[in-house]
Amino acid sequence: MPTGSATPAGAGSLADEVILRALLRGLPADRREAFVATQILELTYAEAAQVSDCPVGTIHSRSPAPART
């Protein structure tokens, strides 16, 4: 029988997920889309721009500042 946590490696706790969902709901839709694409789905800015049908610079401006470095 497997031992240890049933949570996959790298996954947060249920409480973390609830907090993240609440924070995401508080973001404007355009910033939420950029955040999810670049930070959660780990798309490049170019890929996120293509999916969002906007220029790469728009994704940069909508992304969190620490992620832009």
Q: Given pLDDT bands bounded at 50, 70 and 90, which one contains residue 1?
A: very low
Specify the pTM: 0.70
Taking 70 as the threshold, does the pLDDT of residue 9 lie above it? no
Assess contact for 39 and 64: CB atoms under 8 A.
yes
Assess contact for 24 and 52: CB atoms under 8 A.
no
Residue with tokens 């950029």: 34
Q: Given pLDDT bands bounded at 50, 70 and 90, which one contains residue 24?
A: very high
pLDDT at 8: 52
Residue with tokens 């780990």: 42
Measured distance CA(39)–CA(31) in Å, rounded: 11
For residue 21, give both structure tokens.
């969902």
Q: Given pLDDT bands bounded at 50, 70 and 90, which one contains residue 31?
A: very high
Element (H, E) at 4: none
